[in-house]
Structure 1
Amino acid sequence: MLQRASFRGLRLTEVVCSVAKVNVQIRLLSTTMDKGSNFFFRQLFDPVSSTYTYLLGDTCTKDAVLIDPVLEHAERDATLIKQLGFKLIYAMNTHMHADHITGTGKLKSLIPGSKSVIGRDSGAKADMHLQDGDKLTFGNHTLLATATPGHTNGCFTYICHDQAIAFTGDTLLIRGCGRTDFQEGSSETLYDSVHKRIFTLPDHYTLYPAHDYKGMTATTVAEEKKYNPRLTKSLKEFVHIMDTLNLPYPKMIDKAVPANKVCGLY
């Protein structure tokens, strides 16, 4: 609640400043309310794989979705969802991960009625297989599934236009991008996906990646178009950068990919 300003004993300039401050507070509050006060957002983290999991919900209908859950935290996520009174509709993946096992299959047993979701081109099992342009609705909110392959064939970016946000998976990271040297990876395809499907979003859109290894939590379209050290380069330069990263073989890939092909359950 905003407290009533007291102007007793203040000079005229101080009164004007106080009134202006209150007005700014009111405008900020109104902006937040206008954006949709029934939209719930929570960012969760796995320190082992540096994976972000996102819980989105409609506080009126109590429908919710969970993006990129991790197997080891499935019970944590299920407990949080139940504590908040949400009904999990979809447990979704942005792609078939190679660095951790998805929690979508486990969540289906913890929260009966929820459905697992992944891109059709991933080749993984799920209750729902997405194609470019599909929409997923939870309450009064909608995620647009936009195909952004390159890191893997089945990569998707989930866009919520009403909230001016997008979940980019490994296609676009904060000041980086996912690897393209395994699992159907293609530097040319990833570059095309980012420039045609993500960088064409409005500059103010906030982007939430599947991972971050430096403690960053979010970025914007404008920031990445200006500061991303890889994707601000020409295609030729980008391909050279990706071809010379010389990164070690992913530790979890031989375990994670087979498990993720069957929704994270053996």
Structure 2
Amino acid sequence: MVQNYIFRQLFEPVSSTYTYLLADSTTKEALIIDPVIDTVERDAKLIQQFGLNLRYAVNTHVHADHITGSGKLKALFPGCQSVLSNLSGAKADIYLKDGEFIKIGESSKTPLALECRTTPGHTNGCMSFVWHDYGAVFTGDALLIRGCGRTDFQQGSSDKLYTSIHTKIFTLPDHYLVYPAHDYTGQTCSSVSEEKTLNPRATKSREEFIEIMSNLKLSYPKQIDKALPANIVCGLQGDV
């Protein structure tokens, strides 16, 4: 019953981050995934336009390329709680475990529920959220469109990431849409089937995947030195 939901994909261009707003259109309860501090005013305006009650600000992991907007959203919307994986090592109001569900609109006939799946490898605390009623998965940095998150810092492990992708994401139905935390080529979403057959990294053997990931030679993230300290406290202290 997709018509009972509000779903918006929003973009922050500096870090190429996707933020996702999900709401139950009956109860007007909402959650937001991976908000960015620089676009909080835009997101807040949309939430207010829809007349929503923002209950949760969810992060797929502790980001290194931007500061989360969770803290500012909590200040703007009293009652909003920050959400992270229990393995994140960072501060949050609510910690989720593998296999749990986060729900909004529980009083409606069709509450919106996301299944929480731990997908470590990019970081220890990475978590993907599966929206079964919509047929979609929010993969954070674990799986990107024709790519995946880097594994060369912040508890990264190519071996763990390969396992996460193949056991927690590729086991979903082929038609499920893949909504990542970032895209750098202008694409908005993919599908499990596409990534299982076309992803140039994840389609390789485990050994080949590890070799590819160890030779990416990526530059140091521009915002990591300010983003990580802020995101450890989920953007909830001081000016963040």
TM-score tier (shorter): over 0.9
* Cα distance in 1 for residues equivalent to 2:171 and 2:65: 29
2:40 paired residue number: 74
| Deviation at residue 36 of structure 1 after TM alignment | 2.8
- Matched to 1:74, the amino acid is V
For normalisation by structure 1, the TM-score amounts to 0.86
SS in 1 for 2:209: helix
Q: Does 1:125 pair with 2:91? A: yes
- Matched to 2:62, the amino acid is M
Max radius of gyration: which structure? 1
SS in 1 for 2:87: helix
1:180 paired residue number: 151
- Matched to 2:183, the amino acid is D
* Cα distance in 2 for residues equivalent to 1:37 and 1:46: 26
**Structure 2 stretches lacking a partner, 5+ long:** 106-110
Spell out, residue by residue over 1:48-80, the C-alpha distance to the aligned partner (whole angstroms, 9 max, x if none): 000000000111110100000000111211111
- Structure of greater relative contact order (alpha carbons < 8 Å, 6+ residues apart): 2
SS in 2 for 1:41: strand
* Cα distance in 2 for residues equivalent to 1:194 and 1:36: 26
* Cα distance in 2 for residues equivalent to 1:72 and 1:46: 8
Q: Does 1:58 pair with 2:6? A: no
Runs (4 or more) in structure 1 with deviation over 3 Å come to: none
1:228 paired residue number: 199
2:188 alignment partner, one of 187, 192, 217: 217
Relative to its length, the structure with more helix (as a share) is 1
- Matched to 2:201, the amino acid is R
| Deviation at residue 196 of structure 1 after TM alignment | 0.3
Overall identity of the aligned pairs, in %: 62
2:8 paired residue number: 42
Q: For this pair of structures, how many residues does the alignment match?
A: 232
2:140 paired residue number: 169
| Deviation at residue 164 of structure 1 after TM alignment | 0.6
Q: CA RMSD in A?
A: 0.7
1:257 alignment partner, one of 224, 228, 233: 228
For normalisation by structure 2, the TM-score amounts to 0.95
**Structure 1 stretches lacking a partner, 5+ long:** 1-34
Q: Is the 8 A contact 1:75 1:110 kept in 2?
A: no
